[in-house]
Amino acid sequence: MIFETARLQCRMLDEEAIAPLQHLLGDPQVMQFSVRGVQTPEQVADYVQQHLLQHQQFGYAHWGLWIKERTEFAGVVGFNCHEIEGQEIRHITYRLLREKWGQGLAQEAVRGALGFAHHQLGWKEVSALVEPQNKASASVLLRCDFNFVRHSLFVGRVVELYHQAFQ
């Protein structure tokens, strides 16, 4: 297990996660703001392998989220590292199944992942990239104490850059 919150367990993705991940990453509404778009079953299988390797190499990746009481898949949370305007940043990413929206799970997952980044990885800061139209995601970040920094370009798209420094 990577981390645990009141309602969620965050675990490594594995072969058993491919079917529920396909439901998540294959949903056009969930993937509306993804630079990768809707994923095929082959892409989802590659996604799992990619993030297993990334975790082994760097200690972070995208991980699966499960509702603790029912061991039911809820989504993913994790970190990426990308260059934005010549600066390498580590940024959080998260996606929930549509039926899990509006329950406070995104905020809970983000807070859990931030705790992991700070206490386990020793990071001093984390960023986030959000498309301006994605008001729900921006709201989650603000409730998790991120600050809006500026607009920037990421993979040819205008994004809002948010930042949080740990105390």
Q: Residue 165 pLDDT > 80, yes or no? A: yes
Query: Which two tokens mark 28?
Result: 């056009």
Per the prediction, the chain carries an average pLDDT of 93
Which pLDDT score, from 0 to 100, does residue 100 have? Answer: 95
Q: Residue 46 pLDDT > 80, yes or no? A: yes
What single letter denotes the amino acid at residue 129? Answer: L
Residues 6+ apart with CB under 8 A from 50: 61
Q: Residue 160 pLDDT > 90, yes or no? A: yes
CB 10 within 8 A of CB 62: no
Sorted by where each starts, the structural domains of the chain and their CATH numbers stand as 3-165 (3.40.630.30)
- pLDDT digit string (tens) for 57-112? 999 999 999 999 878 999 999 999 999 988 999 999 999 999 999 999 999 999 99
CB 60 within 8 A of CB 78: yes
pLDDT band at 157 (very low <50, low <70, confident <90, very high): confident
pTM across the whole model:
0.93
The closest alpha carbon to 73, from 96, 52, 46, 53, belongs to 96
